[in-house]
Amino acid sequence: MPPDPVALFDAQRPRLLRIAYRMLGSWAEAEDIVQEAYLRWHRGVERHDEIRNPAAWLTRIVSRLCLDHMKSARARRETYPGTWLPEPLIEPEDDALRPDNLTLSLMLALERLSPLERAAFLLHDVFGQPLEDVALTIGRSAAATRQLASRARAHVRLDRPRYDISRDAGEELVNAFFDACRSGDAERLGQMLARDATFHADGGGKVSSYPNVITGADKLVRLLLGLHRKFTGQMEFLGATVIDGLPGFVWKVDGNIQTTALEVSEGQITALYVTRNPDKLGGVTVH
């Protein structure tokens, strides 16, 4: 009995979604890409049982669709109002369900790569595709693909965090940070923030936000105290979670849902990533 093509595809769907999301930085766009791959798989293949490696075939299709899509996506980001952040990905509690080890901050580092460098790095280094398969996918020689992956690796290495934080420790930090923000505890906030901490906020031009990255603990404390004064009694904590590998939380302020992810090094917060753009928050839930 020939294999069920729907079952074959469904077995690969979670991995394909992850690849597309890492390529594009948008879960909604990743779902569109994977759906297009399904249509090509379902309508364009006469004998699915003749495909020796369905996983490799589907990975190739999704990757090529992403590469085509990235051209227009990059053009849109050049005119994006203010700071652009990847769509927040709420991680499952079981770390074994995370097939890659990328974080939100590393996703931003990937934005500085060319589409081919990004594809080579993700497919080979992150998702473990053989170099020859990656070369076939991106239409380059094995030697050229090796160079692309190497250049990407060098860029990403500079941005890879040196310190990990456990889920429990991250949740404890998140709760303490939010309590300090909600109570306006300037001294506590100053202790929690690294001296050169940065603040990144993505409103997408849809809601009020800070268009530029803000750097420095003193500036961040003043900013957070200003939010405390403006929204006293309107900050609602919806739950701690993990956002793209970083400790974070979902909350409401002035009735608007948003997410905040915290990058941490040696026990201090080195970066805050706040997503307020409602177009990126439709699928946000707290596990």
What's the confidence (pLDDT) of residue 186? 95
Domain end: 34, 55, 79, which one? Answer: 79
Q: What is the CATH number of the domain that holds 175?
A: 3.10.450.50
Residues 75 and 173 in one domain: no
Number of structural domains in the chain: 2
Q: Is residue 151 part of a domain?
A: no
Q: What is the CATH number of the domain that holds 42?
A: 1.10.1740
Domain end: 39, 58, 79, which one? Answer: 79
What's the confidence (pLDDT) of residue 58? 93
Domain end: 44, 60, 79, which one? Answer: 79
What residues contact residue 62 under an 8 Å CB cut-off, 6+ apart? 16, 19, 20, 33, 34, 37
Residues 75 and 175 in one domain: no
Q: How far is CA 55 from CA 10, 14, 210, 250, in A?
A: 11, 11, 42, 34
What's the confidence (pLDDT) of residue 152? 92
What is the DSSP-derived secondary structure letter of residue 153?
H
Both tokens assigned to 179:
């309590």
Q: What is the mean pLDDT of each run of 10 residues along the chain (287 residues)?
A: 78 93 92 94 72 87 94 77 91 62 85 93 92 94 96 78 76 94 94 96 89 95 91 86 92 88 92 94 73
What's the confidence (pLDDT) of residue 158? 62
One-letter amino acid for residue 244 of the chain: D
Q: Is residue 146 part of a domain?
A: no
Give the domain extent around 27. 1-79
What's the confidence (pLDDT) of residue 238? 92
Q: Is residue 120 part of a domain?
A: no
Q: Which residue matches tokens 């905040």?
A: 260
What is the DSSP-derived secondary structure letter of residue 278?
G
> Distance between CA atoms of 22 and 30, rounded to whole angstroms?
9
What's the confidence (pLDDT) of residue 84? 93
Q: Which residue matches tokens 């909600």?
A: 182
Q: Is residue 174 part of a domain?
A: yes
Q: Which residue matches tokens 């979902």?
A: 250
